[in-house]
Each structure stands twice: as structure tokens, then as C-alpha cells.
């Protein structure tokens, strides 16, 4: 890369290693990527330069140790995922995203800095890995303009990790996955309920609708928030069967690869959504 093609800059390596307490073994994968040939030549060199430049600049800033760990974790996840996609033969976006502007900074630099800042300030550390995957996938998706990418980062910054789980749950249930039966059974009679569903989860689902991320499935056209439907306004167990990701929710879900969130966390979320019911 820029400072020494034979090994990563020591500051960048130190930054990646700082993410170990947050993202674990993926740090080693990230270091092997920046030490290897994937980011050293051809198309990979452009993003390798961006990762090195912005990463080392960010590392040189004054951050609390835990902030550095979160940002380093996000960068490690991004580097590892980028390396994986490049090694699989996928091509980086070619819309000028990595080209420096008059000030010497590329759009890729600004979006990466926004990603690292968002991760550094994410006190829910489980959001760090999805943020890293988000940047990695933005590097390959020219349909996401830089301004839109920055907006999406703002949206993610305002979401809880539980809301990311809710996005994953809604998507799987809507696609006919494992949780489809759960949402169908949520409309069963209240007498079956021994313990009420967790109202806080439904409040967070309302927040996703306010953010235009989850809506009511329509016979034609995109899903709309419950407030725009007859008798709507909020989510209830009887209406969640019609939940579907809205366009922005779909983009976030796919960029962050929320389909890989831990299954045990999704199962715990589902228990709260459904309450304690008879089979």
C-alpha cells in the first residue's frame, strides 16, 4: 500500500488490532488482506489507498480507547469483507467514488470517515460489524450515490441494535423464512397469550416506520407506514403479519448484511414479539 507495499503501515496495523476486543478474530483476517496482494494492485489499489489514508488519519486523532476499538473493529470488518469480494472476482464501483477531488479527498474517503465516526460513537458495540459491512458493500455498489450513503449513515446512527434485528426479522418473515409462521400466529386470539408481547419492541418497530424503513405491505406499490393505512398508526401483534421492508429499509438491510446477524439474538427477539403463547 502507500507507505510500504511489503507490509501495512504500522499505524494502520495498530488501528486494526485495536478492534480486537470488539470484532475478535476478523482483525487477523483484515491484517492478512492488507498484507497480501489483493489491495496492492489493479482495482484493489484504489480502495487500498483510501483505507490506508483515512484509517491512519483517523488513528492519529485523539480518541478514547474504546472509541478507537469500535472504529478499528469497523475498519477490520470492512477490509476483510472487501478482500473477500475482490478475491471472489467482484469489481469495485467505477463511478469516480475513489477519485480524489480538488481538495485531494475522494468520496470514498468521506464515507469511510463517516463510517468510522459512527462506529466510534456507537455505544452499542454490536452495531460495529454491520457498519463495517455497510462500507464494504458501498465500495461495490455504484447505485448508492455518496450523498445517499452519508444519509444512510445518519439513519443507522439513530437506530438501536434491536431495530437492526427487527429489520432482519421482518425481512425473513416477509420472504417466507423461518419466522413466517410466527407472524401468522400473532393474529391468533388474545386468550392464547399467557405473557403479553414486549411493548418496547413494538415501539421500536413504530420508530422504524417513522424512519420510512418498515411499512404495511400493499397489493400494489411499495409498503407504506401504518399511519398511512386505514385504522393504522401503530404496530400491533395482529398487524405485523403484513410488515415489509420499505425501499430504504431494504437498502440498509442488504448493505449491512443483516441476514447474518446471530440466530440466537433473533430468536430472543421473536420471543419478545410473540409473548408466551400456546403452540
88-134 pLDDT tens trace: 999 999 999 999 889 888 999 999 999 999 999 999 999 999 999 99
List pLDDT tens digits, range 235-275: 888 888 889 999 999 999 999 999 999 999 999 999 898 88
Nine-digit cell string for 91: 469489481
Per-residue pLDDT of 16-28, as tens digits, reads 888 888 998 899 8
pLDDT at residue 41 in the model: 60
H or E stretch including 255? helix 247-255
Q: Identify the weakest region by mean pLDDT among 68-77, 184-193, 234-243.
A: 184-193
Instruction: Give the model's pLDDT for residue 7.
Output: 45
Query: Quick check: pTM over 0.85?
Result: yes
Q: What is the pLDDT of residues 141-172, one digit of tens each?
A: 999 999 999 999 999 999 999 999 999 999 99
pLDDT tens across 191-202, in order? 555 677 889 999
Instruction: Please state, for a pLDDT cut of 70, what percent of the chain lies above it.
Output: 88
The pLDDT of residue 2: 43
Query: Among residues 246, 166, 258, 252, which one has the least CA distance to residue 214?
Result: 246
What's the confidence (pLDDT) of residue 5?
A: 43
| CB-neighbour burial class of residue 243 (10 A; exposed 0-12, middle 13-18, buried 19+) | buried
What mean pLDDT do residues 59-76 have? 86
For residues 63 and 12, the answer to whether their CB atoms sit within 8 Å is no
246 Cα distance to chain centroid: 16
User: What's the pLDDT score for residue 40?
Assistant: 60
pLDDT at 229 over 80: no
Given a cut of 80, whether residue 139 has pLDDT beyond it is yes
Residues 6+ apart with CB under 8 A from 202: 234, 235, 236, 237, 273
Q: What is the pLDDT of residue 12?
A: 82
Q: What is the pLDDT of residue 149?
A: 97
Name the phi and psi angles at 244, rounded to 5: -150, 150
Amino acid at each position: 500500500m502507500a507507505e510500504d507495499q511489503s507490509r501495512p503501515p504500522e499505524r494502520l496495523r495498530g488501528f486494526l488490532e485495536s478492534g480486537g476486543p470488539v470484532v475478535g478474530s476478523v482483525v487477523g483476517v483484515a491484517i492478512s488482506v492488507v498484507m497480501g496482494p489483493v489491495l496492492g494492485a489493479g482495482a484493489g489499489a484504489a480502495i487500498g489507498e483510501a483505507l490506508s489514508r483515512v484509517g491512519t488519519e483517523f488513528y492519529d486523532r485523539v480518541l478514547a480507547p474504546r472509541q478507537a476499538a469500535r472504529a478499528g473493529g469497523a475498519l477490520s470488518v470492512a477490509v476483510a469483507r472487501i478482500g473477500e469480494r475482490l478475491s471472489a472476482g467482484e469489481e469495485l464501483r467505477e463511478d469516480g467514488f475513489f477519485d480524489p477531488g480538488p481538495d485531494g479527498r475522494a468520496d470514498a474517503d468521506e464515507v469511510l470517515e463517516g463510517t468510522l465516526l459512527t462506529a466510534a460513537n456507537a455505544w452499542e458495540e454490536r452495531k460495529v460489524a454491520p457498519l463495517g459491512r455497510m462500507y464494504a458493500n458501498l465500495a461495490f455498489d455504484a447505485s448508492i450515490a455518496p450523498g445517499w450513503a452519508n444519509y444512510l449513515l445518519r439513519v443507522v446512527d439513530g437506530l438501536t441494535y434491536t431495530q437492526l434485528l427487527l429489520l432482519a426479522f421482518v425481512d425473513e418473515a416477509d420472504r417466507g423464512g423461518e419466522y413466517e409462521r410466527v407472524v401468522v400466529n400473532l393474529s391468533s386470539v388474545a386468550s392464547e397469550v399467557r405473557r403479553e408481547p414486549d411493548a418496547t419492541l413494538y415501539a421500536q418497530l413504530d420508530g422504524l416506520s417513522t424512519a420510512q424503513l418498515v411499512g404495511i405491505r400493499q397489493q400494489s406499490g411499495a409498503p407504506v407506514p401504518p399511519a398511512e393505512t386505514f385504522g393504522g398508526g401503530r404496530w400491533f401483534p395482529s398487524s405485523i403479519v403484513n410488515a415489509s421492508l420499505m425501499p430504504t429499509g431494504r437498502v440498509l438491510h442488504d448493505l449491512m448484511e443483516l441476514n447474518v446477524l446471530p440466530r440466537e439474538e433473533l430468536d430472543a427477539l421473536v420471543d419478545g414479539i410473540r409473548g408466551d403463547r400456546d403452540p
